[in-house]
A and B are shown apart, each in its own frame.
Chain A
């Protein structure tokens, strides 16, 4: 009896701790830009942008078992749509954003329908090939994208004459968006579709027998991921006000996949941790000079070997162990 009572007690204490923790995180988040320097805030804005785009990749990988190295394409489509619509056509920001999302969704259906029947290495390499195709097209279609010169002078986002033209101001826009999307995905995970996805990932044949239309579900998830990529790309274009082909290379696609893997694709919060890693670590390493790229790659290799299910997975295991320890004592 006492053991069970203690378990109940521990369980009752846990939500309280959770709320307190969440409150602390939110408070910390709110005051951070006031305390941190401009460059740190800038880095945190990028963390949020990468979290949004990376969430698409992470969700595909962790819940559907789809490896996507093509997120840089959708990130680029979003950024160029915003740049072209706002600068060349003079349309409002919302139009650019929606055009980007529309094009990305159409491309995702057109490309996803044929390639999502592949799996494993083949799918990964097919999406990597897509990233290369996207990069070349961004470069070659210079009438649309400005080629290597890029498109500059993209106006900052503004709400009723209040311009989001500093990292601090943008920070307070982009993080709530990222948080809302994370929350949406956490809910999606618990929905009927979420269950169908995990069934499809773990036992495709069984899922098909139970009436899950695997092909359509995969394409839908791919479209959702593309939309997230495009949204992040549009926000990125507004934030930096200049886009060029260098931002949408294969290395960006690989970074998005790496953040998903590092963060732990099976957990939603892991994405943010992964995004933090790929923005902060290269920055911190850059004071070692030119060797920082080698060091960063070494970190990645170490993470792949030692944390196969990422930071999120490591934390989940740790809390599970703590909880088990709590109930045993």
Chain B
């Protein structure tokens, strides 16, 4: 096993890690705003990727515009789902399991819908910077992967600022932490919940368009992506955006080293085992309780 090989797989791991981090960020956004674990987060990515693909190939939109529309499509979907499905469920007083089943059901519906309208084919988008790649020491990394890392980092910082420095971000937090208190200070709590889903969906859609030049998009990809994003978010302590990135990177690197040393077939087994072990051993994430609430 040469150093180059290890470096190469570490770079792949870092890239994957940022993808998981983006999904985890979206999950964390939804969880922060509504206390719901959103099992359709991976489906937002699926829709984002598919919309970008269609706009690019059927309508000939430029890449940047197609990417933007893909991310917004995820947001629009999230907002729509909150209004039409999550809100009625909340009115009927659902339990944690109820929400999980609801979002799982929606994830099924979206996945089945994509299968119906787009078929089983796996699709791939062109990346930012085309097929070009950069040489880092001896290993190669796609230019697009570098963009993915930069954009994910920017999203993380933006979310951090959003929740600590803007009125609307603080209102969202208030609406989820103390519903009645927030309502008395004049915050429109239901609207904050809708906005939460809009934001979570956009982050999910963005993850979808950024990942689809690297791995193919296909109707079945959602659930596993959701779970890995969840593993990343849990590793980081669920509500801390900074944590999701650390968690995603840990998961991505461990996964790619496992592929190198064990076998590629067991990649998902290792990721899922990590998820289970983390939940049992470190329920507050690797950053611990002290950093959990912050930012």
Contact = CB atoms under 8 A, between A and B. Distances in A.
A139 B265 contact: yes
A132 B116 contact: no
A125 B230 contact: yes
B113 interface: yes
B269 A133 contact: yes
B223 A250 contact: yes
A125 B94 contact: no
A125 B37 contact: yes
Nearest to B268: A136
Nearest to B219: A293
Given A301-B109, A305-B88, A129 B101 contact: no
Given A250-B223, A301-B106, A304-B105, A121 B273 contact: no
Interface residues of A, number: 39
A148 to B, nearest CB: 12
Contact of A133 (B88, B265, B273): B273
A140 B92 contact: no
B112 interface: yes
A122 B283 contact: yes
Interface stretch (A165-173, A236-244, A253-261, A321-329): A253-261
A133 B276 CA distance: 11
Interface in A278-304: 290-291, 293-294, 296-298, 300-301, 304
A276 interface: no
A304 B268 contact: no
Contacts of B104: 254
Nearest to A128: B227
Contacts of A132: 224, 227, 268-269, 272
B161 interface: no
Contact of B108 (A61, A125, A300, A306): A300
A306 B100 CA distance: 15
B167 interface: no
A124 B269 contact: no
Given A115-B280, A129-B275, A129-B276, A301 B112 contact: no
Contacts of A293: 108, 112, 115-116
Interface residues of B, number: 40
A137 interface: yes
A interface, over-half SS: helix
A110 interface: no
A115 B276 contact: yes
Contact of A67 (B97, B108, B230): B97
A117 B280 contact: yes
Contacts of B88: 305
Contact of B102 (A115, A130, A294, A301): A301
B275 A125 contact: yes
A67 B97 CA distance: 8
Interface in B181-217: none
B257 interface: no
Contacts of B263: 140
Contact of A290 (B116, B224, B276): B116
A255 B278 CA distance: 27
Nearest to B224: A132
A254 B105 CA distance: 9
Nearest to A135: B268
Interface string A8-44: 0000000000000000000000000000000000000
A275 B275 CA distance: 31
B180 interface: no
Nearest to B231: A129
B30 to A, nearest CB: 12
B101 A304 contact: yes
B92 A305 contact: yes
Contacts of A186: none
Contacts of A211: none
A61 to B, nearest CB: 7
B149 to A, nearest CB: 26
B279 interface: yes
| Residue from the set A129, A130, A257, A291 with the largest chain B CB neighbour count within 10 Å | A129
A2 interface: no
Contacts of B227: 125, 128-129, 132
A254 to B, nearest CB: 6
13 contacts: A115-B279, A118-B280, A120-B96, A125-B275, A130-B272, A132-B227, A132-B272, A133-B273, A140-B266, A258-B101, A296-B108, A301-B85, A305-B102
Given A132-B272, A294-B116, 10 more contacts: A120-B96, A122-B279, A126-B275, A126-B279, A136-B266, A258-B101, A261-B101, A296-B108, A305-B88, A305-B102
Q: What are the 6 closest A-B residue pairs judged by CB atoms, nearest first?
A: A297-B109, A293-B112, A129-B272, A297-B108, A300-B105, A301-B105
